[in-house]
Amino acid sequence: MINKSLKELAQALGTKQISSVELSTLFLDRIERLNPEINAFVTVDREKSLKMAADADARIAAGTAGALTGIPIAQKDIFCAEGWRTTCGSKMLANFIAPYDATVIRKMHHEAGLVSLGKTNMDEFAMGSSNETSYFGAVKNPWDRERVPGGSSGGSAAAIAARLAPAATGTDTGGSIRQPAGLCNLTGLKPTYGVVSRYGMIAYASSLDQGGPMGASAEDCALLLNTMVGFDERDSTSLDRPVEDYTRGLEQPLAGLRIGLPKEFFGEGCDAGVMAAVQGAIKEYEKLGATMVEISLPNSHLSVPAYYVIAPAEASSNLSRFDGVRYGYRAPEYGNLDDMYMKSRAQGFGGEVKRRILIGAYVLSHGYYDAYYLQAQRIRRLIANDFVAAFQSCDVILGPTSPTTAFKIGEKSADPVQMYLSDIYTIAVNLAGLPGMSLPCGFAGGLPVGMQLIGNYFDETRLLNVAHRYQQATDWHQRRPDGIA
C-alpha cells in the first residue's frame, strides 16, 4: 500500500480492500518508526488522524465519498489547522494552536475527505532552501541522510520520499515546492498565483507565496490540485474563475508540442550530471513528438537579486505582527514594553529570518525605497515580460530545477549567497506569477535530478499532461531510496 498511487489507493478504499482507518494506521506506524531519523514531521496526533479516517470510512460506506476521501496526506506546517499545533518551523509559534482552518485545509479535509497524518517540518517561516533553518532541526533527505531534502517544503518532500505519507501539501515562494521535489525524486507543482487560496497560510512574501501539491507523480498532483483550487473571498488575491478538472488532459498526445529551452538555463553554473539528466529528458520528449525551440529569458539572471529585495521587504512587513503581545512567543523577562518587543523578537526568530527582516526593513526605509524596492519591482516586470515573449514561440519551457543535486547538511550554511543561488532556476517563475513544476528525470552520483517545466498563466492542465506523458515513458518517478523499508 505504501507504494501505490493515489488512484490505486482510492480504488482500494472504494472496493473495501482496505479501510481508511487501516491505511492511516499503516502510515502513522511508519511515522512513529522512521520519523525520529528523518525528522519530516513536527506534529503528529494519532487520535485526531484516526477520527478523520473513521469519518472518511463512514462517508465511503454512505456513498457520499469524493475521489480522494479516506486517503492520508501530510500538511506543511505553514497551514493553520483548527486544534492542531501550527508552528511555521519557528520558536515564535512553537506552542501556537490554530483556532481556525486555512482554506486549503478546509477544502481537503472537510470537503474532499482527505485524512491529515500531521504537520511537516519546514524552513522557519518558509525562509530557506535546505530545511536547515527550522527551530525543530534539519530534515534528512531519505536518499542520503547526510544531505538536505531542499526547502522550504523539505519535511513534506522527505515524508513522501520515505513513504511516511502518499502525498503532501507544500508552498512555493521562490521554489519551495519544486526544489525539494527535485532533490527528493518527487513531482511538485506551484500553480499560477491566485489559483490556490492563501487564507490561513502563514504569510512570508504575500505577492509570491502560493500553495500546491507534492506527490510521486503528475497524476497524483493533478488529483490533489483538484481538491485545493477555487475562489475564496477571504483572500483578496484569489482569482474568481471556473474550477477545472486537472486530470482531464493527462492522456493528450504530445505531437506538435513546442518546448522552449532558455539558453540562460543551459549555460555555465549547472552541474554536469544534472545537465546530462535534463538532456536525456529532452531526447525522450523528442521521441514523444515534441519539438525543441531555443528561446531567451534575458533578464532571468536578475531574478535572484530582485527576489531578495522584494521577498524580504514583504517579510519585514508580514512578520511585524509577531511582537510578543497578541500571540506567539513572549520573552520571559523584560523591563518595559519596548524591551519586551525587542527581546521577544530577538529570542523568537532564528538567524535567517532576522537577516531577511533586516534586509526588508532597510530596502523599504526612507532614502532607499526608490534605489532598491522600486527598482526590484521594475525588474520583476521585465522578467514577466520575458516569459510573455517566450510563450509566443513555445507552449512550455523546460530546464533544470536546481543547479546541483542535494548538498550536504551544513555545506552552505555559512554562505547565504551560495544558498540563495540554489533557487536560480525557480525564482523567476514566482516573480512572474506563472505555474511551474518539477519532476524526476534521472540521477547524478546516485542522487535524484529534477527537471522543471514552466507553463503559461492558468496552463496547469497542459503542464500536468506534459509531465504525465513523460512519466508514462520513463520510470524515474518510481525509484525508491534504499534503506526505507
Largest interatomic CA distance in the chain:
70
Q: What value, to the nearest 5°, has the Cα angle with vertex 127 and ends 416 and 328? A: 130
Q: Do residues 197 and 191 lie in contact, with contact meaning Cβ atoms separated by under 8 Å?
A: no
The grid coordinates of residue 328 equal: 506567539
Q: Exposed, middle or buried: residue 484 (CB in 10 Å: 0-12, 13-18, 19+)?
A: middle
Distance CA 287, CA 220 (A): 24
* 93 contact partners, CB below 8 Å, separation of at least 6: 86, 87, 202, 322, 328, 329
- Beta-strand pair 258-262/291-295: parallel
User: In the beta sheet, which residues pair with residue 452?
Assistant: 399, 438
3-state secondary structure 223-286: HHHHHHECCCCCCCCCCCCCCCCCCCCCCCCCCCCEEEEEHHHCCCCCCHHHHHHHHHHHHHHH
Catalytic residue among 20, 129, 152, 344: 152
Catalytic residue among 19, 20, 76, 344: 76
Q: Is 263 a catalytic residue?
A: no
- Pick from 73, 101, 88: nearest CA to 42: 88
Given the residues 134, 153, 156, 176, the one annotated as active site: 176
Dist. CA 20–CA 56, nearest whole Å: 7
Residue 115 contacts residue 376 (beta carbons within 8 Å): no
Residue 415 burial class via C-beta count within 10 angstroms: exposed 0-12, middle 13-18, buried 19 and up: exposed
With CA atoms as reference, report the closest residue to 78 among 116, 119, 127. Answer: 119
176 included as an active-site residue: yes
- Which residues make beta-bridge pairs with 408? 147
Element at 218 (helix H, strand E):
helix 218-228
Cis before 152 (ω within 30): yes
Residue 152 designated active-site:
yes
- For residue 145, the 8-state DSSP code is T
Active site residues: 76, 152, 176
